[in-house]
Chain A
Amino acid sequence: GQSLEQPSEVTAVEGAIVQINCTYQTSGFYGLSWYQQHDGGAPTFLSYNGLDGLEETGRFSSFLSRSDSYGYLLLQELQMKDSASYFCAVDADKLIFGTGTRLQVFP
Protein backbone atom coordinates (compact mmCIF):
# COMPACT_ATOMS: atom_id res chain seq x y z
CA GLY A 1 0.00 0.00 0.00
CA GLN A 2 0.90 3.64 -0.13
CA SER A 3 0.74 5.89 2.90
CA LEU A 4 1.92 9.29 4.01
CA GLU A 5 1.70 10.29 7.64
CA GLN A 6 1.60 13.81 9.00
CA PRO A 7 0.44 15.25 12.32
CA SER A 8 -3.17 16.33 12.06
CA GLU A 9 -2.73 19.68 13.78
CA VAL A 10 0.00 22.02 14.97
CA THR A 11 -0.36 25.29 16.85
CA ALA A 12 2.20 28.07 17.32
CA VAL A 13 2.45 31.79 18.00
CA GLU A 14 3.53 34.55 15.69
CA GLY A 15 7.27 34.76 15.22
CA ALA A 16 7.85 31.18 16.27
CA ILE A 17 9.32 28.29 14.29
CA VAL A 18 7.33 25.16 13.53
CA GLN A 19 8.30 21.87 11.91
CA ILE A 20 5.78 19.62 10.15
CA ASN A 21 6.98 16.06 9.67
CA CYS A 22 6.03 13.62 6.96
CA THR A 23 6.85 9.92 6.76
CA TYR A 24 5.95 7.98 3.69
CA GLN A 25 5.70 4.46 2.38
CA THR A 26 5.14 4.26 -1.35
CA SER A 27 5.96 1.96 -4.22
CA GLY A 28 8.28 4.18 -6.16
CA PHE A 29 9.69 7.54 -5.16
CA TYR A 30 11.07 10.44 -7.14
CA GLY A 31 10.68 13.28 -4.71
CA LEU A 32 8.69 14.98 -1.95
CA SER A 33 6.68 18.16 -2.37
CA TRP A 34 4.89 20.45 0.06
CA TYR A 35 1.66 22.33 -0.63
CA GLN A 36 -0.21 24.98 1.33
CA GLN A 37 -3.98 25.25 1.28
CA HIS A 38 -6.04 27.97 2.94
CA ASP A 39 -9.65 27.19 3.82
CA GLY A 40 -11.73 27.24 0.67
CA GLY A 41 -8.67 27.78 -1.50
CA ALA A 42 -6.59 25.77 -3.91
CA PRO A 43 -3.45 23.90 -2.87
CA THR A 44 -0.41 25.94 -3.82
CA PHE A 45 3.09 24.60 -4.31
CA LEU A 46 5.72 25.47 -1.71
CA SER A 47 8.76 23.31 -2.30
CA TYR A 48 10.18 20.14 -3.80
CA ASN A 49 13.01 17.86 -2.66
CA GLY A 50 14.33 15.37 -5.18
CA LEU A 51 17.59 14.78 -3.34
CA ASP A 52 18.47 14.40 0.32
CA GLY A 53 19.10 17.58 2.20
CA LEU A 54 17.63 20.96 2.92
CA GLU A 55 16.00 23.31 0.42
CA GLU A 56 15.43 26.88 1.56
CA THR A 57 12.92 29.31 0.09
CA GLY A 58 12.54 32.45 2.15
CA ARG A 59 10.90 31.69 5.49
CA PHE A 60 10.15 28.11 4.44
CA SER A 61 12.61 25.23 4.26
CA SER A 62 12.06 21.60 3.38
CA PHE A 63 14.18 18.59 4.19
CA LEU A 64 14.33 15.08 2.80
CA SER A 65 15.99 11.86 3.92
CA ARG A 66 15.30 9.15 1.35
CA SER A 67 16.93 6.45 3.47
CA ASP A 68 14.54 7.23 6.33
CA SER A 69 11.50 7.84 4.07
CA TYR A 70 11.10 11.09 5.96
CA GLY A 71 10.85 14.75 5.29
CA TYR A 72 9.78 17.93 7.01
CA LEU A 73 8.65 21.45 6.29
CA LEU A 74 10.13 24.16 8.49
CA LEU A 75 8.31 27.46 8.79
CA GLN A 76 10.19 30.33 10.42
CA GLU A 77 9.08 33.74 11.64
CA LEU A 78 5.48 32.58 11.61
CA GLN A 79 2.83 35.05 10.53
CA MET A 80 -0.93 34.92 10.99
CA LYS A 81 -1.33 34.39 7.25
CA ASP A 82 0.56 31.09 7.57
CA SER A 83 -2.51 29.57 9.24
CA ALA A 84 -3.52 26.94 6.70
CA SER A 85 -3.30 23.24 5.95
CA TYR A 86 0.01 21.86 4.76
CA PHE A 87 0.27 18.69 2.69
CA CYS A 88 3.28 16.60 1.86
CA ALA A 89 3.02 14.84 -1.48
CA VAL A 90 5.13 12.05 -2.90
CA ASP A 91 5.98 11.93 -6.57
CA ALA A 92 5.68 8.19 -7.19
CA ASP A 93 5.02 8.48 -10.90
CA LYS A 94 1.83 10.14 -9.73
CA LEU A 95 1.35 12.74 -7.04
CA ILE A 96 0.13 11.17 -3.79
CA PHE A 97 -0.94 13.53 -1.01
CA GLY A 98 -0.86 13.09 2.73
CA THR A 99 -3.89 13.84 4.88
CA GLY A 100 -2.57 17.27 5.78
CA THR A 101 -1.51 19.19 8.87
CA ARG A 102 -3.64 22.09 10.01
CA LEU A 103 -1.44 24.89 11.31
CA GLN A 104 -2.98 27.53 13.55
CA VAL A 105 -0.89 30.60 14.30
CA PHE A 106 -1.95 32.68 17.29
CA PRO A 107 -1.01 36.29 18.02
Chain B
Amino acid sequence: EAGVVQSPRYKIIEKKQPVAFWCNPISGHNTLYWYLQNLGQGPELLIRYENEEAVDDSQLPKDRFSAERLKGVDSTLKIQPAELGDSAVYLCASSLGDSNTEAFFGQGTRLTVV
Protein backbone atom coordinates (compact mmCIF):
# COMPACT_ATOMS: atom_id res chain seq x y z
CA GLU B 1 0.00 0.00 0.00
CA ALA B 2 1.37 3.41 -0.94
CA GLY B 3 1.97 5.85 1.86
CA VAL B 4 1.32 9.57 1.92
CA VAL B 5 2.90 11.12 -1.14
CA GLN B 6 4.07 14.71 -1.23
CA SER B 7 5.65 16.77 -3.95
CA PRO B 8 7.94 18.42 -4.53
CA ARG B 9 10.52 17.14 -2.04
CA TYR B 10 12.52 20.34 -2.20
CA LYS B 11 11.70 23.84 -3.33
CA ILE B 12 13.81 26.98 -3.43
CA ILE B 13 12.10 30.25 -4.25
CA GLU B 14 12.77 33.93 -3.90
CA LYS B 15 10.82 35.90 -1.33
CA LYS B 16 7.53 37.37 -2.51
CA GLN B 17 7.09 34.53 -4.99
CA PRO B 18 4.19 32.05 -4.73
CA VAL B 19 4.68 28.36 -3.99
CA ALA B 20 2.40 25.36 -3.83
CA PHE B 21 2.73 21.94 -2.24
CA TRP B 22 0.76 18.85 -3.15
CA CYS B 23 -0.30 15.90 -1.02
CA ASN B 24 -1.92 12.58 -1.86
CA PRO B 25 -3.05 10.82 1.32
CA ILE B 26 -3.40 7.10 1.92
CA SER B 27 -6.40 5.72 0.12
CA GLY B 28 -9.45 5.66 2.36
CA HIS B 29 -8.08 8.13 4.89
CA ASN B 30 -10.62 10.89 5.22
CA THR B 31 -8.63 13.04 7.64
CA LEU B 32 -5.76 15.06 6.22
CA TYR B 33 -3.37 17.38 8.04
CA TRP B 34 -0.81 19.95 6.98
CA TYR B 35 1.98 20.59 9.45
CA LEU B 36 4.93 22.94 9.46
CA GLN B 37 8.18 21.79 11.04
CA ASN B 38 11.11 24.05 11.78
CA LEU B 39 14.55 22.60 12.41
CA GLY B 40 14.79 21.08 15.86
CA GLN B 41 11.11 21.59 16.60
CA GLY B 42 8.01 19.45 16.58
CA PRO B 43 5.41 19.60 13.81
CA GLU B 44 2.92 22.45 14.19
CA LEU B 45 -0.57 22.01 12.82
CA LEU B 46 -1.60 24.40 10.07
CA ILE B 47 -4.90 22.89 8.97
CA ARG B 48 -6.92 19.70 9.37
CA TYR B 49 -9.49 18.39 6.93
CA GLU B 50 -12.19 15.82 7.41
CA ASN B 51 -13.08 14.86 3.88
CA GLU B 52 -13.28 18.17 2.00
CA GLU B 53 -14.15 20.26 5.06
CA ALA B 54 -11.49 22.25 6.89
CA VAL B 55 -12.42 21.52 10.50
CA ASP B 56 -9.47 23.31 12.09
CA ASP B 57 -7.61 26.11 10.35
CA SER B 58 -7.08 28.28 13.40
CA GLN B 59 -3.26 28.15 13.04
CA LEU B 60 -3.20 28.88 9.31
CA PRO B 61 -1.90 32.40 8.52
CA LYS B 62 -4.73 33.23 6.21
CA ASP B 63 -3.23 36.43 4.88
CA ARG B 64 -0.72 34.45 2.86
CA PHE B 65 -1.54 30.76 3.25
CA SER B 66 -4.40 28.90 1.64
CA ALA B 67 -5.30 25.26 1.30
CA GLU B 68 -7.85 23.19 -0.49
CA ARG B 69 -8.92 19.58 -0.62
CA LEU B 70 -11.23 19.18 -3.54
CA LYS B 71 -13.21 15.95 -3.66
CA GLY B 72 -11.87 15.03 -0.23
CA VAL B 73 -8.73 13.30 -1.53
CA ASP B 74 -5.67 15.24 -2.72
CA SER B 75 -4.78 18.53 -1.11
CA THR B 76 -2.70 21.56 -2.00
CA LEU B 77 -1.17 24.13 0.32
CA LYS B 78 -0.22 27.48 -1.15
CA ILE B 79 1.82 30.40 0.10
CA GLN B 80 1.54 33.74 -1.65
CA PRO B 81 3.70 35.70 -1.23
CA ALA B 82 6.40 33.70 0.52
CA GLU B 83 8.54 35.31 3.20
CA LEU B 84 12.00 34.37 4.47
CA GLY B 85 10.46 33.05 7.69
CA ASP B 86 8.41 30.51 5.77
CA SER B 87 11.51 28.39 5.20
CA ALA B 88 10.67 25.06 6.86
CA VAL B 89 9.55 21.53 6.11
CA TYR B 90 5.87 21.21 5.24
CA LEU B 91 4.48 17.85 6.22
CA CYS B 92 1.26 16.27 5.12
CA ALA B 93 -0.33 13.46 7.13
CA SER B 94 -3.49 11.42 6.95
CA SER B 95 -5.44 9.21 9.30
CA LEU B 96 -8.40 6.86 9.16
CA GLY B 97 -11.69 8.25 10.34
CA ASP B 98 -11.69 11.30 12.56
CA SER B 99 -9.34 9.75 15.08
CA ASN B 100 -6.00 11.34 15.91
CA THR B 101 -4.74 8.03 17.26
CA GLU B 102 -2.32 7.31 14.45
CA ALA B 103 -1.29 9.70 11.72
CA PHE B 104 0.76 8.65 8.70
CA PHE B 105 3.18 11.28 7.45
CA GLY B 106 4.61 11.99 4.04
CA GLN B 107 8.31 12.76 3.50
CA GLY B 108 7.57 16.46 3.48
CA THR B 109 8.53 19.37 1.26
CA ARG B 110 11.58 21.31 2.36
CA LEU B 111 11.01 24.94 1.41
CA THR B 112 13.84 27.43 1.29
CA VAL B 113 12.95 31.08 0.72
CA VAL B 114 15.91 33.24 -0.31
Contact = CB atoms under 8 A, between A and B. Distances in A.
Interface of A: 4, 30-31, 33, 41-45, 48, 50, 87, 89, 91, 93-100
B42 A50 contact: no
Nearest to B42: A97
A43 B41 contact: no
A91 B43 contact: no
A33 B101 contact: yes
Interface of B: 4, 33, 35, 40-45, 48, 56, 91, 93, 99-108
B41 A96 contact: no
A99 B91 contact: no
A42 B45 contact: no
B56 A95 contact: no
B interface: dominant SS:
loop
Contacts of A98: 42
Nearest to A99: B42
Contacts of B101: 31, 33, 48, 50, 91
B105 A42 contact: yes
B91 A48 contact: no
Contacts of B41: 99-100
18 contacts: A4-B42, A31-B100, A33-B100, A33-B101, A41-B107, A42-B4, A43-B91, A43-B105, A91-B99, A91-B100, A91-B101, A93-B56, A94-B56, A95-B45, A96-B45, A97-B44, A98-B42, A100-B41
Contact of A97 (B43, B48, B56, B99): B43
A95 B101 CA distance: 9
A41 B108 CA distance: 8
A97 B33 CA distance: 13
A94 B42 contact: no
B42 A95 contact: no
A96 B33 CA distance: 12
